[in-house]
Structure 1
Amino acid sequence: MKYSLTALAVTLTLAACNAQSATIEASEQAKALAKQTIIVDGHIDVPYRVNEKWVDVTEATEDGDFDYPRAIEGGLNAPFMSVYVPASMDNSPQSTQLAHMLIDSVEAIVARAPDKFAIARTVSDVREHFKQGLISLPMGMENGSPIQGDMANLHHFYERGIRYITLAHSQSNHISDSSYDLRRQWNGLSPFGKKLVAEMNNIGMLIDISHVSDDAFYQVIELTKAPVIASHSSLRKFTPGFERNMNDDMVKKLGENGGVIMINFGSGFVTKEARQWRAGMSQARNQIIKTEGADSPKLENFEATYREQNPYPYSTLSEVLDHIDHVVNLIGIDHVGIGSDYDGVGDSLPEGLKDVSDFPNLVQGLMDRDYSESDIKKILSGNILRVWSEVEDYASKSKS
């Protein structure tokens, strides 16, 4: 469907107004439940954030979406730290070096504040840290590029604490095709990628199918002997044509596998209006380049000007809940979790879920939709901890 820029601007402005009016306020009951429950977030980009511009997240910070005081306020106590390596570094020594540096940065957070944080390598660690009042920092690698086609690297990163690998990111790599990349050099997984799936099963490493192409997803499901995760993906039903999200058939296959989809909060993952806004901005920029050239002064501060004239259509907490509802309706309560993408999606977070202090708002929204306390706990952590435990158990049995 095509829109004129004027019509698109009106549509997006209305969406932004609707978002502002749909905020959910957390009750004391919701705040208490958030703090009394382990909350696992499948994907937070703190390591790359502090690598680009160092801040001490053990204390309050002025920007970003995560720091210790806000995590305590929101009840977040087991965020997976994303060890993100850009796709441009695929299969290079630089990718491996950066991954190690980002792991170092997570270890440094714990070293600065061992009374606040601890590295979590197992489900038992997460539960024990919760009892001790510590925030667990399990780690996942976003983009398998640092493996460099060498299983020894996989084992080394496991020893360093990496507990899931997102097989690809924004480009096809030596492991898998990417949902964002029109090049499908492997038509799914590479020969090495297929071997990697088996070895990840064997050592107890969670397989993350966020970012991979549809073909790669189905091949992973066919090959894996343990449940898999989508650490930060939402549903294509609400964002038609956006392959980065999962369609209903994929969600059903994930359910049959026993896995869990962890819902991404970024507005562009939640609503088609946010995706259309991004497309409209690109169209407007390209039109200026076409008519006035790449040196046009209108391109200076273009995005800020465009945002002022066309307010970004932030999604709402209610629309995030729609994604959770849809998963539950398709495959049941046991297969959905949270993968916010905090510190990774920039200024695109929904009203009511602007940073990690807002998890009680999510709990309140679930309560308002008549989810039971036991079901809310499954969404907050029970489902992902169950999958992680099953992956640990499979590896333990394969070694015996």
Structure 2
Amino acid sequence: MRKQSTAILTILSSLMLTACNATVSAPINETNAQAAKRITQQNIIVDGHIDVPYRLQNQWVDVTKSTEDGDFDYPRAVEGGLNAPFMSIYVPASLDNSPESTALAHRLIDYVEAIVGRAPDKFALAYSVADVEQNFKDNKISLPMGMENGSPVQGSLDTLRMFHERGIRYITLAHSQSNHISDSSYDLRRQWKGLSPFGKEMVLEMNKLGIIVDISHVSDAAFYQAVDISIAPVIASHSSLRTFTPGFERNMNDDMIKALAKNQGVIMINFGSSFVSPVARSWRDNRTQKADELAKVFGKDSQEVKDFEEKYNTESPYPFATLEIVLDHIDHVVQLVGIDYVGIGSDYDGVGDSLPINLKDVSDFPNLVEGLLERGYSENDIKKILNENVLRVWRDVEAVAKAN
């Protein structure tokens, strides 16, 4: 019955989005480049995952102004049309099961609030879909927040509620290691064989609160359990497709994407070269394997390992992905399950210098849209990818919370 209610809510949300986002007539003889610029400036763009807060943790910089480093700042966001980036409250797995995990999460939320405090004419917090839409009307960039790694919850539903009160609107259940909530795709231990007993309880509490369940990073078993348990749709906030990167469990396979679509969820494509390109993936895997072999003999921080990595990088330059292969990932999802289940989760400021050619920072979203236009996507289709699909999920999550 609950699943049926969610399906009805999904249909109603889709109708509302269609009514609120009527197509603006395109100028006659508009080039794809001109159309892409117009589309990015006239519409909400939701990016599911940008690591600005942890970037500020490493080195404070005022992103309300132009910055020399990183992938995000206000001028570049305006240029690219990005106006609803989810700020990632990222807590490293190394802090799991420690008080510093929770403390860091609060500190990163403080950073997001500080960005808004420094430039309230440019940025605004966003706790709901309505906030995102109102901020867009007010010509402000929304800063919704998602927590990457549920470690700061510390096994307490009261702490989960506190983070909801502070503005967390999705939680990536685990990161690079199994935690007290879920197994990680990177962790071979698989101690829970999916979700922990608390993790299963937490998913349902997230439904009640209106926090989106994010299954990026979790093991396959944890994914299927989360989809089965959750009353509301789930997202993959920054994942790409395993069909292009065989053996890389961090990405999703076709069966998982079909299950996600059946759940009415959305996969938000990660731009990192090693997430989308098999060549970049092989380059990284090969370097890691050889460096690990040397580390067993000489030590992880030895000069031999450092010399090898420097020589490897020089003799075999990193094979950056292209915009085209990012578009291939979007195409594959659309061909597999339809246009309604794909979005953007760039991982800007989170994947270092591995970003694809022509997608190097947040000013490059017009390049993505131009590529979609050249592949025959309609403007209405593109708006679904840019915002409507994930906002539909968010609305459904809000509706389920209201009903519970």
TM-score (norm 2): 0.90
Residue aligned with 1:337, SS: strand
Find out whether 1:157 has 2:174 as its counterpart: no
What is the aligned residue count? 374
CA distance in 2, matches of 1:289, 1:207: 37
Q: Secondary structure at the residue paired with 1:236?
A: coil
Distance in 1, Cα, partners of 2:124 & 2:286: 44
1:244 aligns with 2:262: no
Q: Does 1:102 align with 2:102?
A: no
Please point out which of 127, 136, 155 is paired with 1:130: 136
RMSD over aligned Cα, in angstroms?
1.5
Report deviation, 1:304.
3.5
Show the counterpart of 1:346.
352
Assess, with a 3 A threshold, how the Cα gap between structure 1 residues 59 and 304 changes in structure 2: closer, same or farther: farther
Residue aligning to 2:172: 166
Residues 197 and 287 (structure 1 numbering): CA distance in 2 closer, same or farther, change over 3 Å? closer
Alpha-carbon separation, structure 1, partners of 2:280 and 2:142 = 33
Distance 2:84 2:193 in 1: 35
Matches within 5 A, 1:299-310: 299-300=305-306, 302-310=308-316
Gaps (5+ residues) in structure 1? 1-24
Amino acid corresponding to residue 90 of structure 1 in structure 2: D
What do the CA deviations read for 1:304-333 (whole angstroms, capped 9, x no partner)? 432111011111110001010110111110
Higher RCO (CA-CA < 8 Å; seq separation 6+): 1
Letter in 2 for 1:73: E
In the alignment, the residues of structure 1 paired with residue 255 and residue 340 of structure 2 have an alpha-carbon distance, to the nearest angstrom, of 17
Shift in CA distance, 127/279, structure 1 to aligned 2, threshold 3 Å: same
TM-score, normalised with respect to structure 1: 0.91
C-alpha change, 1:177 and 1:288, in structure 2 (3 Å) is closer
Change (3 A) 1:160 1:294: closer
1:48-99 Cα offsets, whole Å, 9 max, x none, are 0001111100001111000000000000000000000011211321111100
> Is the CA contact 1:26–1:360 (under 8 Å) kept in the aligned structure 2?
no
**Which residue pairs with 2:117 in the alignment?**
111
Asked whether 1:229 is paired with 2:244, we answer no
- 1:35 and 1:75 in contact (8 A); partners too: yes
Provide the rounded CA distance (Å) in 2 between the counterparts of 1:293 and 1:100.
Answer: 35
Which deviations, in whole Å up to 9, do the C-alpha atoms of 1:224-275 show, x marking residues without a partner?
1000000000000000011100000000000000000000000111012111
Equivalent residues in 2 for 1:1-400 (5 A)? 27-289=33-295, 297-300=303-306, 302-398=308-404
Change (3 A) 1:53 1:372: same
The separation in 1 between residues aligned to 2:226 and 2:42, in whole angstroms, is: 35
- Taking every aligned residue pair, what percent have the same amino acid on both sides? 69
After superposing the two structures, state which structure 1 stretch, 126-135 or 290-299, moved more: 290-299
Q: Is the 8 A contact 1:91 1:149 kept in 2?
A: no
User: Is this contact kept in 2: 1:78–1:137, CA < 8 A?
Assistant: yes
Gaps of 5+ in 2: 1-30
Whole-Å Cα distance in 1 between the matches of residues 268 and 219 of structure 2? 17
